[in-house]
């Protein structure tokens, strides 16, 4: 693992900055997944409270999916910065919409 980290190259920045940015991105995804799992467990324990499940979906669309898109899209595809920005913003806005609908009572049990 250390040998892999020592081989990291960054264009336009110090490699330690690139590693720190990747670590923070990984931490953001990990924390949002843990919170999502807690919400799903709450949904499964409760008397069918679908609001908890929709909050989990909204949270994942707001945090996890955009972070993954920021890493996966430029790595796997040749989509440009504008396309990637549109994908990320769409996921975030959808997540915010799901959370708003859930909080303000749009989801019925």
Query: With the C-alpha atoms ordered 76, 77, 79, 85, is the resulting torsion angle positive or negative?
Result: negative
* Residues with Cβ within 8 Å of residue 109, at least 6 apart in sequence: 48, 49, 50, 51
pTM of the model: 0.74
Mean pLDDT for each 10-residue chunk of the chain (109 residues)?
Answer: 56 74 88 89 79 89 92 87 92 94 74
| Residue 30: predicted pLDDT | 92
């Amino acid at each position: 693992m250390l040998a892999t980290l020592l081989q990291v190259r960054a264009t336009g920045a110090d490699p330690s900055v690139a590693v720190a940015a990747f670590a923070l991105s990984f931490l953001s995804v990990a924390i949002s997944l843990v919170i999502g799992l807690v919400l799903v467990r709450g949904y499964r324990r409760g008397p069918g409270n679908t609001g908890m499940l929709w909050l989990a979906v909204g949270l994942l669309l707001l945090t996890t999916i955009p972070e993954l898109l920021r890493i996966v899209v430029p790595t796997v595809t040749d989509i440009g910065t504008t396309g990637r920005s549109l994908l990320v913003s769409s996921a975030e806005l959808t997540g915010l919409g799901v959370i708003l609908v859930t909080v303000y009572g749009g989801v019925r049990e």
